Amino acid sequence: MDLFRQTRIDISLDQLQINLRALRQQVSAGTFFCPMIKSDAYGHGDRAVAQLLHDEGIRHIGVAFIEEGVRLRGYGFEALEILVFSMFDRKGFEAIWDSHLVPVVSCWEQLHVLKEFLRDKDRRQPIHLKFNTGMNRLGFRPDEAGQVRQFCEGLPCVDVQGVCSHFLCGEDWGIESGYCEQQTKAFQPVLDAFPKVSYVHFHNSASLLASGFEGASAFGARPGIAFYGSVPTLFDKARDQRAHQFGIAEALSVHTKVVQTHKLKSGESVSYGPIFKAKVPSQVVVLPIGYGDGLHRNLSNLGEVLVRGHRAPMVGRICMDYCMVDVTEVAKKTGSEIRVFEDVVLFGQQQGQSLTILEQAEKVDTIAYEFMTSLGLRLKRHYHSKPLADLSQVKQSFV
> Which residues are catalytic, by number?
38, 272
Q: Which residues of 101-138 are buried (b: 16+ CB within 10 A; e: fewer)?
A: bbbbbbeeebbebbeebbeeeeeebbbbbbbbbbbeeb
The packing angle between helices 108-117 and 145-153, to 10°, is: 0
CB 181 within 8 A of CB 175: yes
How many residues can be counted in the chain?
Answer: 399
CB 345 within 8 A of CB 305: yes
Amino acid, single-letter form, for residue 364: V
CB 27 within 8 A of CB 52: no
Tell me how many degrees the CA angle 301-302-306 measures, rounded to the nearest 5.
105
Burial (0-12, 13-18, 19+ Cβ within 10 Å), 327: buried
Query: Can you point out the beta strands (E) in the chain?
Result: 8-12, 60-63, 81-84, 102-105, 125-130, 158-164, 199-203, 220-221, 252-257, 260-264, 282-287, 304-307, 310-315, 323-326, 343-350, 353-355, 380-384
CB 126 within 8 A of CB 102: yes
